[in-house]
Amino acid sequence: MNVLARTLSVHNYRSFKEFDVELDPDITILIGRNAVGKTNLIESVQLLTAGQSFRRPTSSQLVRNGEGTCRIDLSFTGEGRRVEHALVCSEGKKSFFSNGKRTSAAGMRGLVPSILFCPDHLDMIKRAASHRRAALDDFGIQLNDRYAHLVSSYARVVEQRNSLLKEYPVPTDLLVAWDEALIQTGAALLSHRLSLLERIRLRMVDAYRAIAPTEALGLSYQSTVGEIDKSTSRAEIEELFRGALSRAAEDERRRGITVVGPHRDEISFSIDGREARDFASQGQQRSLVLAWKIAEAEVASDILGRYPMLLLDDVMSELDARRREAITGFVQGEIQTIITTTNLGYFSNDVIDRAKVVHIDGEKK
Ligand SMILES: Nc1ncnc2c1ncn2[C@@H]1O[C@H](COP(=O)(O)OP(=O)(O)OP(=O)(O)O)[C@@H](O)[C@H]1O
Protein backbone atom coordinates (compact mmCIF):
# COMPACT_ATOMS: atom_id res chain seq x y z
CA MET A 1 0.00 0.00 0.00
CA ASN A 2 1.17 3.50 -0.72
CA VAL A 3 1.84 6.14 1.87
CA LEU A 4 -0.39 9.08 0.93
CA ALA A 5 -0.26 12.76 1.74
CA ARG A 6 -3.54 13.70 3.42
CA THR A 7 -3.68 17.29 4.62
CA LEU A 8 -1.67 20.34 3.77
CA SER A 9 -1.88 23.50 5.90
CA VAL A 10 0.10 26.66 5.53
CA HIS A 11 0.25 29.66 7.83
CA ASN A 12 1.87 32.99 6.89
CA TYR A 13 3.57 31.14 4.06
CA ARG A 14 4.46 33.10 0.89
CA SER A 15 1.19 34.63 -0.47
CA PHE A 16 -1.04 32.84 2.12
CA LYS A 17 -2.27 33.98 5.52
CA GLU A 18 -3.94 30.60 6.11
CA PHE A 19 -4.72 27.79 3.73
CA ASP A 20 -5.76 24.19 4.40
CA VAL A 21 -6.56 21.49 1.92
CA GLU A 22 -7.38 17.80 2.19
CA LEU A 23 -5.57 16.03 -0.60
CA ASP A 24 -7.24 13.38 -2.67
CA PRO A 25 -5.59 9.93 -2.63
CA ASP A 26 -5.78 10.02 -6.42
CA ILE A 27 -5.76 13.46 -8.11
CA THR A 28 -6.12 16.92 -6.58
CA ILE A 29 -6.48 19.75 -9.07
CA LEU A 30 -5.68 23.19 -7.65
CA ILE A 31 -7.30 25.75 -9.89
CA GLY A 32 -7.01 29.52 -9.69
CA ARG A 33 -6.06 32.63 -11.59
CA ASN A 34 -2.45 33.66 -12.19
CA ALA A 35 -0.39 34.61 -9.12
CA VAL A 36 -3.01 33.25 -6.70
CA GLY A 37 -0.38 31.01 -5.09
CA LYS A 38 -0.75 27.63 -6.85
CA THR A 39 2.99 27.16 -7.36
CA ASN A 40 3.58 28.26 -3.77
CA LEU A 41 1.44 25.32 -2.63
CA ILE A 42 3.26 22.88 -4.91
CA GLU A 43 6.51 24.20 -3.47
CA SER A 44 5.27 23.63 0.10
CA VAL A 45 4.57 19.97 -0.71
CA GLN A 46 7.98 19.63 -2.31
CA LEU A 47 9.65 21.13 0.78
CA LEU A 48 8.00 18.59 3.07
CA THR A 49 8.65 15.57 0.83
CA ALA A 50 12.05 16.34 -0.75
CA GLY A 51 13.41 18.67 1.95
CA GLN A 52 14.10 21.32 -0.69
CA SER A 53 12.26 23.09 -3.45
CA PHE A 54 13.02 23.88 -7.05
CA ARG A 55 13.17 27.57 -6.15
CA ARG A 56 15.90 26.98 -3.54
CA PRO A 57 14.33 29.61 -1.24
CA THR A 58 15.87 31.18 1.82
CA SER A 59 13.86 31.00 5.02
CA SER A 60 12.79 34.64 4.81
CA GLN A 61 11.54 34.27 1.24
CA LEU A 62 9.08 31.64 2.51
CA VAL A 63 7.68 33.91 5.22
CA ARG A 64 4.74 36.03 4.12
CA ASN A 65 5.76 39.65 3.60
CA GLY A 66 5.32 41.60 6.83
CA GLU A 67 5.16 38.48 9.07
CA GLY A 68 7.86 37.03 11.32
CA THR A 69 7.26 33.28 11.18
CA CYS A 70 5.68 30.82 8.77
CA ARG A 71 4.62 27.23 9.19
CA ILE A 72 3.77 24.43 6.76
CA ASP A 73 2.28 21.08 7.86
CA LEU A 74 1.80 18.01 5.71
CA SER A 75 0.36 14.81 7.14
CA PHE A 76 0.69 11.33 5.64
CA THR A 77 -1.03 8.03 6.30
CA GLY A 78 -0.32 4.51 5.12
CA GLU A 79 1.44 1.30 6.09
CA GLY A 80 -0.45 1.46 9.38
CA ARG A 81 0.95 4.77 10.55
CA ARG A 82 0.45 8.50 10.47
CA VAL A 83 3.39 10.82 9.96
CA GLU A 84 3.36 14.61 10.29
CA HIS A 85 6.00 16.67 8.57
CA ALA A 86 6.38 20.37 9.35
CA LEU A 87 8.57 23.29 8.43
CA VAL A 88 8.83 26.41 10.55
CA CYS A 89 10.70 29.44 9.20
CA SER A 90 11.71 32.03 11.69
CA GLU A 91 14.61 34.43 12.22
CA GLY A 92 16.18 33.45 8.94
CA LYS A 93 16.25 29.72 9.78
CA LYS A 94 14.33 26.74 8.44
CA SER A 95 13.46 24.13 11.07
CA PHE A 96 12.07 20.80 9.92
CA PHE A 97 10.02 18.48 12.15
CA SER A 98 8.85 14.91 11.79
CA ASN A 99 6.12 13.87 14.24
CA GLY A 100 7.01 16.88 16.38
CA LYS A 101 10.69 16.00 16.61
CA ARG A 102 13.26 18.37 15.21
CA THR A 103 15.06 16.95 12.19
CA SER A 104 17.03 18.15 9.17
CA ALA A 105 15.89 18.66 5.56
CA ALA A 106 17.09 15.08 4.99
CA GLY A 107 14.53 13.94 7.57
CA MET A 108 11.78 14.89 5.08
CA ARG A 109 13.08 12.42 2.52
CA GLY A 110 12.48 8.71 2.16
CA LEU A 111 8.80 8.64 3.17
CA VAL A 112 7.16 9.77 -0.08
CA PRO A 113 9.47 11.16 -2.74
CA SER A 114 7.96 13.81 -4.98
CA ILE A 115 8.49 14.34 -8.66
CA LEU A 116 7.91 17.85 -9.88
CA PHE A 117 7.12 18.67 -13.48
CA CYS A 118 6.84 22.40 -14.20
CA PRO A 119 7.18 24.58 -17.31
CA ASP A 120 10.78 25.34 -16.39
CA HIS A 121 11.64 21.67 -17.02
CA LEU A 122 10.29 21.68 -20.56
CA ASP A 123 13.49 23.00 -22.06
CA MET A 124 15.76 20.83 -19.93
CA ILE A 125 17.05 19.12 -23.10
CA LYS A 126 18.40 22.31 -24.69
CA ARG A 127 19.56 24.18 -21.61
CA ALA A 128 23.03 24.09 -20.07
CA ALA A 129 24.24 20.67 -18.89
CA SER A 130 23.89 21.78 -15.25
CA HIS A 131 20.08 21.49 -15.62
CA ARG A 132 20.30 17.85 -16.71
CA ARG A 133 22.81 17.03 -13.97
CA ALA A 134 20.55 18.72 -11.40
CA ALA A 135 17.55 16.71 -12.67
CA LEU A 136 19.45 13.48 -12.05
CA ASP A 137 21.00 14.51 -8.72
CA ASP A 138 17.81 16.04 -7.28
CA PHE A 139 16.11 12.72 -7.97
CA GLY A 140 19.00 10.62 -6.59
CA ILE A 141 19.10 12.71 -3.42
CA GLN A 142 15.50 11.77 -2.66
CA LEU A 143 16.09 8.07 -3.14
CA ASN A 144 19.32 7.45 -1.34
CA ASP A 145 21.04 9.13 1.65
CA ARG A 146 24.45 8.14 0.40
CA TYR A 147 23.74 9.85 -2.95
CA ALA A 148 22.64 12.99 -1.07
CA HIS A 149 25.79 12.91 1.05
CA LEU A 150 28.04 12.51 -2.01
CA VAL A 151 26.40 15.42 -3.86
CA SER A 152 26.98 17.82 -0.98
CA SER A 153 30.48 16.52 -0.11
CA TYR A 154 31.57 16.70 -3.74
CA ALA A 155 30.29 20.30 -4.08
CA ARG A 156 32.27 21.26 -0.96
CA VAL A 157 35.45 19.65 -2.31
CA VAL A 158 35.13 21.47 -5.65
CA GLU A 159 34.53 24.76 -3.85
CA GLN A 160 37.55 24.25 -1.60
CA ARG A 161 39.75 23.19 -4.49
CA ASN A 162 38.63 26.16 -6.60
CA SER A 163 39.56 28.59 -3.86
CA LEU A 164 43.08 27.05 -3.69
CA LEU A 165 43.40 27.27 -7.48
CA LYS A 166 42.63 30.98 -7.25
CA GLU A 167 45.49 31.64 -4.81
CA TYR A 168 48.79 32.92 -6.11
CA PRO A 169 51.01 31.00 -6.00
CA VAL A 170 48.79 27.91 -5.85
CA PRO A 171 49.64 25.99 -2.61
CA THR A 172 50.65 22.74 -4.33
CA ASP A 173 50.90 20.56 -1.16
CA LEU A 174 47.40 21.46 -0.07
CA LEU A 175 46.05 21.02 -3.57
CA VAL A 176 47.41 17.45 -3.75
CA ALA A 177 45.41 16.54 -0.64
CA TRP A 178 42.24 17.96 -2.19
CA ASP A 179 42.96 16.15 -5.48
CA GLU A 180 42.58 12.85 -3.68
CA ALA A 181 39.33 13.98 -2.00
CA LEU A 182 38.03 15.09 -5.40
CA ILE A 183 38.88 11.75 -7.01
CA GLN A 184 37.42 9.61 -4.21
CA THR A 185 34.19 11.57 -3.75
CA GLY A 186 33.82 12.26 -7.47
CA ALA A 187 34.28 8.59 -8.45
CA ALA A 188 31.73 7.49 -5.84
CA LEU A 189 29.26 10.10 -7.14
CA LEU A 190 29.88 8.98 -10.72
CA SER A 191 29.13 5.35 -9.81
CA HIS A 192 25.85 6.41 -8.22
CA ARG A 193 24.92 8.62 -11.17
CA LEU A 194 25.66 5.91 -13.73
CA SER A 195 23.61 3.28 -12.00
CA LEU A 196 20.66 5.63 -11.46
CA LEU A 197 20.83 6.88 -15.04
CA GLU A 198 20.79 3.31 -16.34
CA ARG A 199 17.63 2.59 -14.34
CA ILE A 200 16.07 5.77 -15.75
CA ARG A 201 17.17 4.87 -19.28
CA LEU A 202 15.51 1.45 -19.17
CA ARG A 203 12.20 2.93 -17.99
CA MET A 204 12.45 5.98 -20.21
CA VAL A 205 12.85 3.95 -23.40
CA ASP A 206 9.44 2.34 -22.77
CA ALA A 207 7.81 5.60 -21.69
CA TYR A 208 9.11 7.38 -24.79
CA ARG A 209 7.98 4.57 -27.06
CA ALA A 210 4.45 4.90 -25.63
CA ILE A 211 4.44 8.61 -26.54
CA ALA A 212 6.32 8.40 -29.87
CA PRO A 213 6.15 4.77 -31.09
CA THR A 214 8.22 5.27 -34.25
CA GLU A 215 11.21 6.99 -32.66
CA ALA A 216 14.14 5.35 -30.86
CA LEU A 217 15.43 7.09 -27.77
CA GLY A 218 19.07 7.09 -26.64
CA LEU A 219 20.40 8.33 -23.30
CA SER A 220 24.06 8.49 -22.37
CA TYR A 221 26.45 9.93 -19.82
CA GLN A 222 29.49 11.76 -21.13
CA SER A 223 32.09 12.29 -18.47
CA THR A 224 34.98 14.73 -18.45
CA VAL A 225 37.06 12.06 -16.66
CA GLY A 226 36.94 9.75 -19.70
CA GLU A 227 34.81 7.05 -21.24
CA ILE A 228 32.81 5.35 -18.53
CA ASP A 229 29.53 3.50 -18.33
CA LYS A 230 27.58 1.40 -15.86
CA SER A 231 30.07 -1.47 -16.17
CA THR A 232 33.13 0.66 -15.29
CA SER A 233 34.35 -0.23 -11.79
CA ARG A 234 34.97 2.38 -9.07
CA ALA A 235 38.72 1.66 -9.22
CA GLU A 236 38.75 2.22 -12.99
CA ILE A 237 36.82 5.48 -12.62
CA GLU A 238 39.33 6.66 -10.00
CA GLU A 239 42.22 5.81 -12.31
CA LEU A 240 40.65 7.68 -15.24
CA PHE A 241 39.86 10.61 -12.97
CA ARG A 242 43.49 10.74 -11.74
CA GLY A 243 44.75 10.79 -15.33
CA ALA A 244 42.26 13.44 -16.47
CA LEU A 245 43.10 15.63 -13.49
CA SER A 246 46.81 15.45 -14.13
CA ARG A 247 46.30 16.31 -17.83
CA ALA A 248 44.14 19.27 -16.82
CA ALA A 249 46.60 20.65 -14.23
CA GLU A 250 47.92 23.49 -16.35
CA ASP A 251 44.49 24.51 -17.62
CA GLU A 252 43.13 24.48 -14.05
CA ARG A 253 45.86 26.78 -12.76
CA ARG A 254 45.35 29.16 -15.63
CA ARG A 255 41.58 29.32 -15.17
CA GLY A 256 41.49 28.98 -11.38
CA ILE A 257 38.76 26.31 -11.44
CA THR A 258 38.37 22.53 -11.37
CA VAL A 259 37.72 21.56 -14.98
CA VAL A 260 37.18 17.81 -14.78
CA GLY A 261 34.75 15.79 -12.70
CA PRO A 262 31.03 15.09 -12.35
CA HIS A 263 30.26 18.84 -12.00
CA ARG A 264 31.31 19.28 -15.66
CA ASP A 265 29.72 16.17 -17.17
CA GLU A 266 26.93 15.91 -19.72
CA ILE A 267 23.79 13.80 -19.90
CA SER A 268 22.77 13.55 -23.49
CA PHE A 269 19.63 12.39 -25.26
CA SER A 270 19.29 11.24 -28.82
CA ILE A 271 16.39 10.40 -31.11
CA ASP A 272 17.04 7.88 -33.89
CA GLY A 273 20.76 8.35 -33.25
CA ARG A 274 20.72 12.14 -33.60
CA GLU A 275 21.68 14.41 -30.73
CA ALA A 276 18.42 15.78 -29.28
CA ARG A 277 20.04 18.97 -28.05
CA ASP A 278 20.78 19.99 -31.66
CA PHE A 279 18.06 18.24 -33.66
CA ALA A 280 14.95 17.58 -31.56
CA SER A 281 11.86 19.62 -32.38
CA GLN A 282 10.12 21.39 -29.52
CA GLY A 283 7.46 18.63 -29.45
CA GLN A 284 10.12 15.92 -29.31
CA GLN A 285 11.91 17.73 -26.49
CA ARG A 286 8.67 17.85 -24.54
CA SER A 287 8.09 14.15 -25.14
CA LEU A 288 11.61 13.46 -23.85
CA VAL A 289 11.04 15.43 -20.65
CA LEU A 290 7.65 13.79 -20.15
CA ALA A 291 9.22 10.34 -20.61
CA TRP A 292 11.99 11.31 -18.16
CA LYS A 293 9.42 12.27 -15.50
CA ILE A 294 7.43 9.08 -16.03
CA ALA A 295 10.68 7.11 -15.80
CA GLU A 296 11.53 8.86 -12.51
CA ALA A 297 8.18 7.78 -11.06
CA GLU A 298 8.73 4.19 -12.21
CA VAL A 299 12.29 4.07 -10.90
CA ALA A 300 11.24 5.49 -7.51
CA SER A 301 8.64 2.76 -7.33
CA ASP A 302 11.18 0.08 -8.39
CA ILE A 303 13.58 1.18 -5.66
CA LEU A 304 11.24 2.07 -2.79
CA GLY A 305 8.45 -0.39 -3.53
CA ARG A 306 5.86 2.41 -3.68
CA TYR A 307 5.01 5.21 -6.04
CA PRO A 308 6.13 8.79 -5.38
CA MET A 309 3.83 11.80 -5.52
CA LEU A 310 3.60 13.60 -8.80
CA LEU A 311 3.45 17.41 -8.71
CA LEU A 312 2.38 18.83 -12.06
CA ASP A 313 2.68 22.57 -11.87
CA ASP A 314 0.96 24.32 -14.74
CA VAL A 315 2.31 21.97 -17.40
CA MET A 316 -1.00 20.96 -18.97
CA SER A 317 -1.24 24.28 -20.80
CA GLU A 318 2.22 23.65 -22.29
CA LEU A 319 1.48 20.18 -23.66
CA ASP A 320 -0.66 19.21 -26.63
CA ALA A 321 -3.65 16.88 -26.23
CA ARG A 322 -1.65 13.72 -27.04
CA ARG A 323 1.00 14.45 -24.43
CA ARG A 324 -1.61 15.52 -21.88
CA GLU A 325 -3.29 12.16 -22.41
CA ALA A 326 0.05 10.37 -22.00
CA ILE A 327 0.50 11.94 -18.59
CA THR A 328 -3.07 11.59 -17.33
CA GLY A 329 -3.11 8.00 -18.61
CA PHE A 330 0.06 7.33 -16.65
CA VAL A 331 -1.28 8.69 -13.37
CA GLN A 332 -4.38 6.44 -13.55
CA GLY A 333 -4.36 4.40 -10.45
CA GLU A 334 -1.56 4.34 -8.00
CA ILE A 335 0.20 7.68 -8.21
CA GLN A 336 -1.06 10.41 -5.94
CA THR A 337 -0.98 13.55 -8.04
CA ILE A 338 -1.40 17.27 -7.46
CA ILE A 339 -2.00 19.35 -10.56
CA THR A 340 -2.21 23.13 -10.76
CA THR A 341 -3.99 24.90 -13.57
CA THR A 342 -5.75 28.10 -14.51
CA ASN A 343 -8.20 26.25 -16.71
CA LEU A 344 -10.08 22.95 -16.32
CA GLY A 345 -10.53 22.87 -20.11
CA TYR A 346 -7.19 21.04 -20.35
CA PHE A 347 -8.64 17.96 -18.62
CA SER A 348 -10.93 15.26 -19.94
CA ASN A 349 -14.23 14.71 -18.12
CA ASP A 350 -12.86 11.40 -17.01
CA VAL A 351 -9.98 13.07 -15.15
CA ILE A 352 -12.21 15.79 -13.68
CA ASP A 353 -14.65 13.16 -12.41
CA ARG A 354 -11.85 11.28 -10.71
CA ALA A 355 -10.19 14.35 -9.25
CA LYS A 356 -10.88 16.57 -6.30
CA VAL A 357 -11.00 20.11 -7.69
CA VAL A 358 -9.98 22.82 -5.25
CA HIS A 359 -10.45 26.48 -6.11
CA ILE A 360 -7.60 28.40 -4.58
CA ASP A 361 -9.69 31.49 -4.04
CA GLY A 362 -11.73 29.59 -1.45
CA GLU A 363 -14.54 27.61 -3.07
CA LYS A 364 -14.18 23.84 -3.18
CA LYS A 365 -15.98 21.36 -5.40
N1 LIG B 1 7.05 35.73 0.90
C2 LIG B 1 6.00 36.16 0.18
N3 LIG B 1 5.10 37.02 0.73
C4 LIG B 1 4.03 37.45 0.04
N5 LIG B 1 3.75 37.07 -1.22
C6 LIG B 1 4.61 36.23 -1.80
C7 LIG B 1 5.77 35.72 -1.14
N8 LIG B 1 6.42 34.90 -1.98
C9 LIG B 1 5.72 34.89 -3.13
N10 LIG B 1 4.63 35.69 -3.03
C11 LIG B 1 3.63 35.99 -4.06
O12 LIG B 1 3.04 34.80 -4.54
C13 LIG B 1 2.57 35.07 -5.86
C14 LIG B 1 3.00 33.99 -6.82
O15 LIG B 1 2.45 32.83 -6.43
P16 LIG B 1 2.57 31.56 -7.38
O17 LIG B 1 3.86 31.57 -8.15
O18 LIG B 1 2.29 30.41 -6.52
O19 LIG B 1 1.36 31.88 -8.37
P20 LIG B 1 0.59 30.89 -9.34
O21 LIG B 1 -0.81 30.79 -8.85
O22 LIG B 1 1.35 29.63 -9.52
O23 LIG B 1 0.61 31.78 -10.64
P24 LIG B 1 0.75 31.38 -12.19
O25 LIG B 1 -0.55 30.75 -12.58
O26 LIG B 1 0.94 32.72 -12.80
O27 LIG B 1 1.94 30.49 -12.32
C28 LIG B 1 3.21 36.33 -6.34
O29 LIG B 1 2.21 37.34 -6.40
C30 LIG B 1 4.24 36.62 -5.30
O31 LIG B 1 4.43 38.00 -5.11
Residue nearest to ligand 1 atom 25, measured at CA: 34
pLDDT in tens, 268-282: 999 999 999 999 999
**Interhelix angle for 282-304 vs 129-143, to 10°?**
20
Question: What are the residue ranges spanned by the domains of the chain?
Answer: 1-112+307-365, 124-305
CATH of the structural domain 1-112+307-365, one choice from 3.40.50.1000, 3.40.50.300, 3.40.30.10, 3.40.50.2020: 3.40.50.300
38, 40, 314, 346: which to mutate for ligand 1, most atoms within 8 A of CB?
A: 40
User: Across the chain, which distance is largest between two alpha carbons, in Å?
Assistant: 68
Instruction: State whether the beta carbon of 59 lies less than 6 angstroms from ligand 1.
Output: no
pLDDT in tens, 138-195: 999 999 999 999 999 999 999 999 999 999 999 999 999 999 999 999 999 999 999 9
Distance between Cα 38 and ligand 1 center (Å) = 8
- Is 144 marked as binding a ligand? no
Q: Which is the closest atom of ligand 1 to the Cα of 340?
A: 22
Residue 362's pLDDT band (cuts 50, 70, 90): very low
339: pLDDT strictly greater than 70: yes
Distance between Cα 40 and ligand 1 center (Å) = 6
363 or 266, which is more confident? 266
Residue nearest to ligand 1 atom 17, measured at CA: 39
Looking at residue 363, what is its pLDDT? Answer: 40
Q: Which is the closest atom of ligand 1 to the Cα of 66?
A: 3
> Mean pLDDT for the chain?
94
Q: Which is the closest atom of ligand 1 to the Cα of 313?
A: 22
Query: ipTM of this predicted complex?
Result: 0.98
Instruction: State whether the beta carbon of 38 lies less than 6 angstroms from ligand 1.
Output: yes
Instruction: State whether the beta carbon of 39 lies less than 6 angstroms from ligand 1.
Output: yes
CA distance 186 to 241: 8
Distance between Cα 14 and ligand 1 center (Å) = 7
Share of the chain above pLDDT 90, in %: 89
State which H helix or E strand residue 221 sits in. Answer: strand 217-222
Looking at residue 329, what is its pLDDT? Answer: 83
Looking at residue 25, what is its pLDDT? Answer: 95
Looking at residue 100, what is its pLDDT? Answer: 98
Determine the residue type at 194. L
Per residue, the 3-state secondary structure of 242-270, as one string, reads: HHHHHHCHHHHHHHCCCCCCHHHCEEEEE
| Superfamily covering domain 124-305 | RecF/RecN/SMC, N-terminal domain (1.20.1050.90)
Share of the chain above pLDDT 70, in %: 98
Looking at residue 326, what is its pLDDT? Answer: 86
- Is 37 marked as binding a ligand? yes
Asked if 203 and 294 count as a contact pair (C-beta separation under 8 A), the reply is: yes
Looking at residue 333, what is its pLDDT? Answer: 66
Question: Mean pLDDT over residues 219-223, rounded?
Answer: 97
Looking at residue 2, what is its pLDDT? Answer: 82
14, 56, 63: which to mutate for ligand 1, most atoms within 8 A of CB?
A: 14
Q: For residue 224, which of 201, 254, 248 has the smallest C-alpha distance?
A: 248
Looking at residue 1, what is its pLDDT? Answer: 62
Instruction: State whether the beta carbon of 65 lies less than 6 angstroms from ligand 1.
Output: yes
Question: Mean pLDDT over residues 302-327, rounded?
Answer: 90
